Chain A
Amino acid sequence: MTAASAPVAPSIAHAYRRNWWRRWTLALALAGVAVMGFLLDVATGPALLPLAEVARTVLLGEGHDASVTAIVWSIRLPVACTALVVGAALGLSGAVMQTILHNPLASSYTLGVSAGAGFGAALVIVLGAGLPWSDTVSIPVMAILFAALACAGVYLIGGARAATAEALVLAGIALLFLFQALTSLLQLIASPEALQQVVFWLFGSLQKATWTKLAIMAPVLLVGLVLLWPMAWSLTALKLGDERAQGLGVPVRSLRLRCFALISALTGVSVAFVGTIGFVGLVAPHIARMLVGEDQRVFLPASALAGAALLSVASVASKTLMPGAVFPIGIITSLIGVPFFVALVLRSRGRRS
């Protein structure tokens, strides 16, 4: 008989419950950072607005000052809300991607899904003048379509077989190059107006945010969260490897396909409206993982919150780094993200040796 010699924790159940609430508290702290970033995001700009006035205007609908109310509601709020929604969408899709591909370096940006969506959107901007639908509809549709194509590429090369992490990342990089080359080709043949639009948009920018675009993005994010909700346990099991998850009753293949569809939608719709914003989808899940672990019931919402916080803070930085100018936010996130990415690569190499 096994000797139960080792001391048993006083109550495993009690410790589990306490840990569970501690994690949600940490997730809530991320939400707090996101809210702070959001308020600062509304307050900063060509005219610096007092935070109290901003909070009042956002909460009550109007402030003491009519001009502040106008600035906040027509210009600042769409941008700040877009930062939250897009940040959350990118964080969430990065988290799902890292989970289903068993790879900490996976994200829409690093594996070419964003580039695919970018190509789809550029296709509409450059060649789509004759389409019967408005750009607000056709750009996201094409972006989602090409994001799905890129996902299919990653899935076929890396996900379907037990490919190594290296093979997967290489496949993603190949797709990244392919779609970048195709986008360059489009730029070459584009009219000057379309070219300007494409370039601006390749940098990634929140400045063209409108309530209409938000009305498309926010529901997609919401639907994504709701659909992921019941998959949380299965995704957690998938973290233990395909074979073990399968043994536990997870339909691994269909789960992965459903997740790729969601990633396509989340990435596609984000990229369609704000351009390719790098590294949020890579970094946010790592922050969430460090804080709450990988029980996906907490990990997924925490990744979304971390993404929202990151992009809001980046948005503030993009407006305050150089007074009077707004940097494209994609440049800011890349400047923050690249060192992080390098550190990650070095760390994972150190662990293996």
Chain B
Amino acid sequence: MSLLADNLSLSYGRQAVLHGVDLALRPGRLVALVGPNGSGKSSLIKCLAGLLPHAGQVSLSGQPLSAAQIGYMPQDHAASAALTVLETVLLGRLERLRWQVGEEDLAAVEAVLTRLGIGHLAPRWLGDLSGGQRQLVFLAQSLVAQPRVLLLDEPISALDLRHQLEVMDAVRALTLERGLVTLAVLHDLNAAVRHADEVVLLHDGRVLEVGPPAQVLTASHVRRVFQVDVCLLTQPGRPAWIAPVGVSAPGQPWPANC
């Protein structure tokens, strides 16, 4: 059940955004998609979700990917709808909903809300929630239809530290448990190091490197892609901690105080 992207290209008008991206994402693994602003992360996620017309193929175990197999969580959480949390999550099952909501739909919503620890929010209005709570609600929405592929665009950007850990742990556990193909755009490199099995580093619409976090997020890669000098603080048996030192200038020697 691997997700394969073959030679994906996308341009907005004359401006090319993605240049022949190839990806192979295996089930049960949480993959982080990292790269600077404007490198094409969101565009890549949208192409995989089938929301943008693009060149190239996307397939899941040899078959074209269908909308019903995808749980997609966009970046924008500013929803002004007068809907309750329960109704919002219910919409994640849009393709199965009949006029009268079925018991199995409500049971699925209850299960996913409980799983994410937000069952108590069910009757609240979406507009009354904090940004972080809303992010959890939309994560629940993307999970409620039991997708095979989970595409998350910055799932933890509005969350505090504790919720970041909780959400990513939950995503990771679900990925393992259900054998999901999970791709998450993460801005925080340390979150990628901590939570991801694999990292895809995107640079100017091209995949620069794919592999385990320690192999991809090296000081030289970060400098090349983000123009930032970092120190990698390593402890035996723990993932490295990426500490930014400063914005790098061309030709500048590596900082000595790492």
Kindly state whether residue A319 has any CB partner on chain B within 8 Å: no
Does B67 reach chain A (CB closer than 8 Å)?
A: yes
Cβ–Cβ < 8 Å partners of B67 in chain A: 249
Given contacts A13-B106, A233-B91, contact A246 B51 (CB under 8 A): yes
* Residue among B46, B68, B84 having the largest count of chain A Cβ atoms under 10 Å: B84
List residues of chain B with CB within 8 A of the CB of A19: 84, 123
Given known A-B contacts A4-B119, A9-B120, A240-B88, A294 and B97 have beta carbons under 8 A apart: no
Is B86 interfacial (CB 8 A cutoff)?
A: yes
Q: Does B200 have its Cβ within 8 Å of any Cβ on chain A?
A: no
**CA A238 – CA B89 in complex, angstroms?**
14
CB proximity of A148 to chain B, nearest CB, Å: 27
Interface residue A185 (Cβ < 8 Å from any Cβ of B): no
Task: Decide: A12 and B82 in contact? CB cutoff 8 A.
Answer: no
Per-residue B-contact encoding for A282-303, CB less than 8 Å = 1, 0 else: 0000000100011101000000
A239 contact from B83, B94, B106, Cβ within 8 A: B83
The docked-state distance in angstroms from the alpha carbon of A294 to that of B90 is: 14
Cα–Cα distance between A5 and B118 once the two chains are bound (Å): 9
Write out the residue numbers on chain A whose beta carbons fall within 8 Å of the beta carbon of B123: 9, 15, 19
- Across-interface contacts of B72 in A (CB, < 8 A): 247
Kindly identify, within residues 1 to 58 of chain A, every residue whose CB is under 8 Å from any CB belonging to chain B: 1-9, 11-13, 15-16, 19-20
Chain A positions within 8 Å of B87 at CB level: 236, 293, 295
Partner of B169, one of A1, A244, A295: A1
CB nearest neighbor in A for B71 = A247
Least Cβ–Cβ distance between B207 and chain A, in angstroms: 23
- B122 to A9, Cβ gap below 8 A? yes
Interface size class of A (residues with CB under 8 A): 35 or more
* A4-B112 Cα distance, complex, nearest whole Å: 11
**Contact check: which of B46, B82, B116, B119 meets A293 at CB < 8 Å?**
B82
Q: Mark A307-323, 1 if CB is under 8 A from B, else 0.
A: 00000000000000000
Is A241 in contact with B94, judged by CB distance below 8 angstroms?
no
Q: Is the CB of B170 within 8 A of A16?
A: no
Partner of A241, one of B49, B79, B92, B103: B79
B114 within 8 A of A: yes
Set of chain A residues within 8 Å of B119, measured between Cβ atoms: 4, 6-9, 12
Question: In whole angstroms, what is the CA distance A250 to B50 when docked?
Answer: 12
Tell me whether B113 is interfacial, beta carbon within 8 Å.
yes
Chain B residues within 8 Å of A20, by CB: 101
Minimum distance in angstroms from B17 CB to a CB of chain A: 16
Which residues from A are CB-within-8-Å of B78?
A: 241
Complex contact B97–A295 (CB within 8 A): no
What's the Cα separation between A241 and B167 when bound, in Å?
A: 23
By the criterion CB–CB under 8 Å, are A294 and B110 in contact? no
Q: How far is the CB of B53 from chain A (nearest CB, A)?
A: 12
- In the assembled complex, the CB of B131 is this many whole angstroms from the nearest CB of chain A, namely 15
Contact of A233 among B46, B94, B116 (CB under 8 A): B94
A249 to B69 alpha-carbon distance, docked (Å): 11
State whether B76 touches A241 (Cβ < 8 A).
yes
**Residues of B36-78 whose CB lies within 8 A of A:** 46, 49, 51, 67-68, 70, 72-74, 76, 78
B189 → chain A, closest Cβ, in Å? 23
8 smallest beta-carbon distances between A and B, as pairs: A8-B119, A239-B81, A247-B72, A13-B106, A294-B82, A2-B170, A12-B110, A249-B67
Besides A233-B97, A248-B95, 9 other CB < 8 A contacts?
A1-B170, A6-B120, A7-B119, A12-B119, A13-B107, A15-B86, A239-B81, A241-B76, A248-B91
Identify 6 residue pairs between A and B in the complex whose beta-carbon atoms are under 8 Å apart, listed by A's number.
Answer: A12-B86, A13-B106, A15-B123, A19-B84, A236-B81, A236-B83
